[in-house]
Amino acid sequence: MSTLSDLVYAQGRSSEDDVEWLHRLAGDGQLLADLAFADIVVWVPTADDSFVAIAHTRPSGAATLFYRDIVGDRVRPQWRTQVRDAFLTGRIVDSASPDWFEETPTRVRAVPIMRREAGAHPQAIGVLTRHTNLGEARTPSRQQITFNDCADDLFGMIASGEFPDLAAPTAPRRGAPRASDGLVRLDVDGITTFASPNALSAFNRLGFEDELEGESLVEVVTQILPSKRQFDESLPVVVTGRAPWRADLEARGVTVSLRTIPLRDHGARTGAIVLCRDVTEIRHQEQELITKDATIREIHHRVKNNLQTVASLLRIQARRSHSEEARDALTHAMRRVSAIAVVHDTLSEGLAQNVDFDDVFERALKLIAEVAAAPSTRARTRTTGRFGTLPSEYATPLALALTELVTNAVEHGLAGQEGEVEIVADRTDEQLAVTVRDNGVGLTEGQVGRGLGTQIVRTLIQGELGGSIDWHTAVGAGTEVTIDIPLRYLGRVRE
């Protein structure tokens, strides 16, 4: 399925500003469909004087006409003339008689999508069609009449280039209010002329027990808000209906999300639509997630501090040891603990449990160069390729394993000489391949796998990561270690 942008650009008649406008409009497609109790389809012109559907939204409170997806389809012959007339004239065009679609009577309204630029007349960039199912016609309720009136007001604003409003905030938080969640209609003075049952219930839970209709929404909210409690600074703008904004209203342990859409007629404000939704549980869940994330971050921070403390103690003990063998063992233990601390240090900086392993390994390499190199050894390290993002359960054993391999290369392969250790990372969606090679003396036959460090690496790669590891070595030609780690269990973690 092509995206909206792909479908629009494929026609070769729209600019980036047009695409942004269409994205904003399509984002409110569900609102329009629910208010109109009809299918909403957005069309853009093609190079051969036709139109192609780039977005389609089905109503949540009425039967849909299109059981199959029509996005990407060309406009049907019975709608082409109506759609073209709306596009060319810049006016709303209604069907003169019921249109039959798959044996179902329908009413079609074509609304030109006009994009307004500062100091210029609005230009048509597409057409929106409303397809109303007349097969389920019944006496409309007052709510349905009001919803249809709101839809007609928004269609008029679309045709005059006043909707969508680019000043409105994008990407609302989870729990954004919908028409079915609660709708309040305000007149130009901010007086409530209609409140749906769900909207009235939401305000009742906030503590307002009277009828909303006939009341000033600003005064209602003033009565609800606790006198000594801070509130959202954008709330006054929202409840007066003067700006397209969002805010949360909190009282008595209840949180109601509000979204205001000012209604205009050729620039003159005529009222507003205020959508409201009880999001108490959603906000409670969000707060719990924030608390848990902060707790996890604090845990990682404390683990990192504790590991660094342990590493410092091992370093002190190593310096005071009189046995060379004990000093080496303590130094290696200090380095391994420090490598694990680097991963936890990265985790403590953010809320995600995934880490940029390239950053982790770069910091680990600095630690290796500081600890592993002897005074007579001059080792250079070079990293090519990218490891990408890895979850913490992969990052910790991989960092420890690579630390061991690079340390062994410096201490044994390049002991007492100058050389280079190269780390090559090659990542695909299915696998991470890492090669660690040095140009040192290499290992003698039969020596691979005997040391403690080698055994640790093998356990980490094969046991912890489910991968494979192989050593290739020749005397005087250096050592090359290849690691293959499957990534199919990561759940689509991307680089």
Residue appearing with tokens 């410096």: 410
Euclidean distance between CA atoms 356 and 294, whole angstroms: 19
* The amino acid at 337: V
Residues 6+ apart with CB under 8 A from 102: 65
Q: Tell me which of 3.40.50.11900, 3.30.450.280, 3.30.420.10, 3.30.450.40 is the CATH number of domain 4-159.
A: 3.30.450.280
74 pairs with which residues across the strands? 52
Q: What is the mean pLDDT of residues 97-125?
A: 86
Euclidean distance between CA atoms 207 and 122, whole angstroms: 45
Q: Express as a percent the part of the chain with pLDDT over 90.
A: 42
* The amino acid at 62: A
Euclidean distance between CA atoms 259 and 245, whole angstroms: 6
Does the structure show a pLDDT above 60 at 491? no
Does the structure show a pLDDT above 80 at 335? no
The pLDDT value given to residue 368:
67
Side-chain half-sphere CA neighbours of 60 within 13 A: 10
The pLDDT value given to residue 172:
57
Q: What is the mean pLDDT of residues 49-68?
A: 92
Question: pTM (2 decimals)?
Answer: 0.67
**Averaged pLDDT score across all residues of the chain:** 85
The pLDDT value given to residue 171:
54
Identify which of 147-156, 161-170, 361-370, 381-390 has the greatest average pLDDT. Answer: 147-156
Identify which of 171-180, 270-279, 406-415 has the greatest average pLDDT. Answer: 270-279
* The amino acid at 173: R
Euclidean distance between CA atoms 185 and 181, whole angstroms: 14
Least confident span in 41-50, 74-83, 140-149, 397-406: 397-406
The torsion of the CA quartet 466, 433, 398, 446, rounded to 10 degrees, works out to 80
Residues in the chain: 495
Residues 6+ apart with CB under 8 A from 288: none
User: At residue 394, what are phi and psi to the nearest 5 degrees?
Assistant: -90, -40
Q: What is the mean pLDDT of residues 5-15?
A: 90
Measure the N-to-C terminal CA separation of the chain; round to a whole number of Å.
24
The pLDDT value given to residue 67:
87
Render pLDDT for 245-297 as a digit per residue (tens, 0 to 9). Answer: 999 899 888 999 999 999 999 889 999 999 999 999 988 887 887 777 777 77
In CATH terms, the fold of domain 354-495 is: Heat Shock Protein 90 (3.30.565)
**Is-cis flag, bond preceding 164, omega within 30?**
yes
How far CA 346 is from CA of 341, 425, 459, in Å, comes to 9, 20, 24
The rounded radius of gyration (Å) of the Cα atoms in the chain is 33
**Would you place residue 319 in the very low, low, confident or very high pLDDT band (cuts 50, 70, 90)?**
confident
In CATH, the number for domain 179-278 is 3.30.450.20
The pLDDT value given to residue 417:
77
